[in-house]
Structure formats: C-alpha cells, structure tokens
Chains A and B, each alone.
Chain A
Amino acid sequence: MTLQAYQEKAAVCWADCKQRYAVFMANPHLSGGQKLAVHYFTVAMVLFMAQLLFGLLAGLQFLFPSFLYEILDFNVNRMVHINAMVVWMLYGFIGSVYWFLEDESGVEIVGLKWGRLAFWVLTGAVAIVVLVYLFIQFGAGNDTSLWLINEGREYIEAPRWADIGIVAVVLTFFYNVAATFAKGKWSGIAGVLTLDLVALAGLYLAGMFYVTNISVDQYWWWWVIHLWVEATWEVLVGCIMAWSLMKLLGVRRQVVQTWLYIEVALMFGSGILGLGHHYFWIGTPEYWFTIGGFFSALEPIPLVAMVVHSIYDSGVHRFKNSNHPALAWVIAHAFGNFLGAGVWGFMHTLPQINLYTHGTQWSASHGHLAFFGAYATINIAFFYLAVQQARGNVWMGGDLVNGWRWKTAAVLLNLGVLGMTVALLIAGYEQSFIERAVEGSTWAGYFAAQNHPWFMQAMVWRMVFGLMTAAGGGLLFWDLLEIGKGEQRPAAIIGDAATAE
C-alpha cells in the first residue's frame, strides 16, 4: 500500500470515529455526567486489557527468563502491569461517581466542562507516562529521572510531573462532586464521599517527595499505598456499592446509609491503625507488632459485615433486578472483597507468620485476589449499568441474545483470578518454607526456592489461569460493546423509589 493509500484510510477511520463520537454525545439516554463516566469507563477497560497483557508477559518471564530480555525486562512489564491496574481502578471509581452524581444530588453537575477537560488532560498524561515507561524505561541516578521518567517506587512510579497533574485532576473532580452536592441534596452518601475524596487526594501528597533514608521513604510510601487501598478506596467503593444496592435491588436509603456509616466506622477503625502491619520490618519501632497485628487482624470484620448485608438485602428483595450481569458482579465483589482482602490478608498479617511470608509470592497471591475481588468487580458492575442505560435502559437478564457472553466472561475471569491466587499461594508457601525457614533468606536460599519444582509448577499453573483470565477479559470487552443491542424489552424500574426516600 502506498503512503497516500494509508493516509486516505486513516482519514476515513478518523471521520468514522468522529461520527461515532458525535452519535454517542447526542445519546438522549445519558446525562452529561453519565457521558463523562462512559469516557472514564472506556479508558478503564483499555487499561484493564493492558494490565492483562503486561501481566502475561511478566508471568511468562518466570517460565522463560530470556523472553524479551533487555527489550521489555520484567521490571518494565511488572510496572506497567501494576500501574495500569491502579489507574484503571481509579478511572472506574471516578467514572462511577460521575455516573450517579446527578441522580444522587438531584441537580446537574456543577463545572462539568472542567471535569471533561480534566479527563482529557489525565488521559493524555497517562498515555505519555506509559510511552516513557515502555520506550525510555530508566534514566541516570539523578532528580531529572525522578521528575521525568520514573520515581522507582512500587505502585506510584509515575514521574513527579505526572503526580502534580494527578493532584490537579483529582482536585477538579473533587470540585465537581462537592459543588454539585452543595447545590443539590446532601445525602449521607454525599457526606461520606466528599470527606473520603479529601482524604484520598491529601494522602497522595505523602508519596510526592524524595528522601535518602529508606525507612522514612517507606514509612510515607505506605501512607499512600495502604491508606488508599485498605481505607479510602474501600470507603469509596462502599459509597458506590450503597448507591448501586438502592438502584439494583431497591434497598431503602435509610438501610444502606446506616450500613455505610457502620462500614466507615469499622473500615477506618481497623484500617487506619492496621497500617502498622507494614511497619514490622522497615526499621520502625517494635510497638508496631502489637498495634499493626491487632488492628489489621480486625480488618476483615467490615468485609464480613458487607457479605452479611449483601446476602440479607438480596434475600429480602428476592434477587429481583433488571441488570443480571451487574448484580452478578456485585455479588462477586462482596465475596471477592471478603476472600481476597479479608481472608487472604488475615492469613499472613500477624508478625509471627509475616516474618516468613513478607516479600514472597504470598503477597502476590493476596494482591491478585484482593484487587480483583474488592475493586475490579465493582467497576465491571458499573460498566454493565452504564451500557444498560446507554442502550435506552433496556432489560438485561440471563435470557438476552448472546447472554452466554457475559456469563462466560464472568466465569472465566473469576475462575482465572482464583486459580492464579491459589497457584501463587502455593509458590508463597514453598518460598516461606524453603527460602526463609530452611535456607535462611540468603540469595542462594532465594534461588533454591525459585528453582524448586514446586515453585516452577505453581508458575506454570499461574500462567494457565492467567491465560484464562485474559480470555475472560477479552470476552468482557467484546460483550460490553455488544450487550443489549437490539433488545426492545424495557428494564423494570426497581431502585428509583428507594433512592428518592
């Protein structure tokens, strides 16, 4: 093909995209906030695919260490894998809040055009950061590298310029949320959400400076990682879940709000000082053994409460709902959060066992199930709610045309992640036993454990289940693009009476 033919093809493609975008923006079924939410959800799904792809590459390198050696090394693949995850979770949360903001406040979003601008700025910044990760990868040991390429701190590797951009975008988002609630109705959900966003943005600042002392570095680093993931994110998801339970099952507002306050009390009551379970081995004083051990052991309680609450509500409302895929993912969320964050976290949280499990595949096992169970699931549930509304609020049940797709995707994703979790747990047991307990944590001990057939078998199984997860992810993407097309039956209205109470 000649260059001119390529240019013509690209022009046709671009015109087609523009037309599709214009059609989407004219969709009469979506409010302004919901259109912005769909923008966030779309990028979230693309990043989810990136997370899966780079996870597969990193997983393959455990089996074939020469694979992509010095082209895309493990550290690059792993960084893109975990960063894509963090960012798609945040995109999902922000999108979900924009989704229900007008419904919850009763007014149009204040300053929506700034919200839209923030979306494009953030998305542009994310694209640049990823390209730099992939093509520049690392720099010299100086401040310029930390400002422009990579900060080299797990999960928050984004260079400093991007940190500043992220804070600016989160502040815009906060302005949209707070100003809209201030103009409209202040509900219990609104109050919790607004305060939680202040904490979320404020905590990020704790990860935005450089220090030589690695103990101090990791002290503040955990403020961001732990207090986001095990406190403020959980509460944010609690708000999203509260609203979706009213919508999906018609649970009364008074019930969900009371539960939300109970969740906040239990989540922050255990999670804030539960931070101490990261302070066992980084140079911090011994009193963190007691404080971290005790409070983090309490962390599963709110997650048990969530399961009880969900089962109770589902029973009371006899599972009557008009979006089966969304409800299926909400159920996956309740159990996944409890198992992944609660049970898997509790299993190795006490210092007496953590001495042997800290820094092994135990953490990877816990991380996979917890992030998926607690956060990926609720985001996926919201994607289905959004698609339903975008298609004109049509019926979305198990008997849809091509209904096999969402069911198969859900089965593949849930089984895939659970399988990876168990495989990594076996690898973690083996490492704790051979590397730590028997060999005494030397480098020779580390490799003795890595080369052991038990470890290698676990890595093979992780790959098998990783492929299953990726297949599920691809199917989910396809399903979200297609589900509900051509469906004429209207959705039964379930939640409006409840949210209005």
Chain B
Amino acid sequence: MTEQVPRWASETFWKKTAIWVTGGSFVLLVILTFDSLSQITAGGSRVQAYGVINKDVSYRFDKAKQRYQPVIGGNAPLFGKTLSEEEAEKLVDLGKKTVQAKNCMNCHTLLGNGAYYAPDLTKAWLDQGWIAKESREQMMVDFLLDPEKNARTFGSNRKMPNLDITQPEAEAIVAFLKWMSTIDTNGFPHNFKAIGEEE
C-alpha cells in the first residue's frame, strides 16, 4: 500500500523550497554587497580617504544618533609631514601589510575580530594610554621597535614579542592605526573615552 504523503511534507515540495530560498537569499546578499561596498570604499562617508591621517581625529558621543562616532578635526599631520592622498595610501598600505605579515591578528583584535590575548586595535590611536597627543606618535613607534624594553603590560606581565619591525614599518603601522580609528564602526567600542577627551 502506498503511503499518502501530504504535499507540504513531500520531498519535491521541500526540494523546490530549498532551491528558491537559497537562490533568493543569495541574490539579496549580492545586491546588499554592491550597496555595502559602495558605502565602505575609502573616501566615502563611512570609511575615510587615506589622506585623513593628515587630520586630527577624535571619538565622541553623538546625541542625535545615540552612539559614539569618529570626529575629524583640523590639520594634524602625522610625523609632522602633510602627505598627498597617494602618499598616504602607500603608507597605510605598508602598515596594513606589516600588520598581516607580523600576524598581529592572532593576539589582537582589529575592528573586534581576531584573538583575545592583547587589546583591540580599532581605536588604538585614540587610547588614553599614550598619555598626551604630543608624545603619542613617538611612543607608538618606540613601542613597536622594541616592545620588550618599552613594554606596556598594565600589570598583566603579558609582553608583546619583538617582531623585527623596521622604522618605516613602525611609522606605517601608526598611520594604518590612525586611519582605522576614523572608520565609522556604528558606535563600537561603546563608552570609549578618547585621548584629549578627558573630562
């Protein structure tokens, strides 16, 4: 005797459903991808052009949006040199490549993604741990060049290892971190008090 299977429980019905649901979701994802990529291209409103490293950067609570967001200020060239857009891009590119080649992401998080053995780097440029805006660049470079001698362990005994970072690479990493701190990350991290924003 053949068993009567209702249509909604049949193999064919679910096969068709699976195909349509998968196809539909994927098409929607592709459309959203086009839109998202157009909004996160460097130079748009959410992700700044690389030349932003010539400007002062901060991170403040926006009352209208009810979340924190980056604030771009007046001129504040990195290492005292104003760079063209191409020069800035080249510098940030070297920084990003160094961050990848040194495998930073398997201790740190970037935009909150990575490993959890060392602090998040999303707003590292704006961290109050660098004490004052004037000395920040040099402190960061010195730290990267010799993290053992200039260790910043905050009482944890965790030290960054020496990764044979060169002077140009260290400066490029600082440029990359400054540029990354200007990305509009929808309020992540929340409640973060940037350097120079002390009450």
Contact = CB atoms under 8 A, between A and B. Distances in A.
Interface of A: 58, 61-62, 65-66, 69-70, 73-76, 78-79, 137-143, 145-146, 149-154, 157, 188, 192, 210, 212-219, 221, 254, 257-258, 261-262, 264-265, 268-269, 272-273, 275, 278-289, 291, 355-356, 358-361, 363-364, 431, 436-437, 440-444, 446-448, 450-451
B100 A443 contact: no
B46 A283 contact: yes
Given A74-B107, A283-B47, A444-B154, A141 B113 contact: no
A436 B191 CA distance: 8
Given A62-B117, A264-B18, A359-B113, A146 B100 contact: yes
A269 B21 contact: yes
Contacts of A62: 117
Contacts of B94: 141
B96 interface: yes
Contacts of B124: 443
Interface residues of B, number: 85
Given A66-B157, A140-B169, A212-B89, A440 B11 contact: no
Contacts of B37: 216, 219
A361 B129 CA distance: 23
- Chain A interface helix/strand/loop/mixed: helix
Nearest to A261: B14
Given A359-B113, A441-B120, A283 B189 contact: no
A451 B154 contact: yes
B119 A443 contact: yes
Contacts of A440: 189-193
A192 B22 CA distance: 12
A284 B36 contact: yes
Contacts of A149: 101
B82 interface: no
The 6 residue pairs across chains A and B that have the minimum distance between CB atoms: A141-B98, A152-B100, A447-B154, A441-B189, A359-B112, A75-B106
Contacts of B46: 215, 283-285
12 contacts: A65-B156, A74-B107, A76-B103, A139-B101, A153-B100, A212-B42, A214-B180, A436-B189, A441-B120, A443-B152, A447-B155, A448-B154
A7 to B, nearest CB: 38
A281 B185 contact: yes
Interface string B154-195: 111111011110100100100000001001111111111100
Contacts of A279: 36
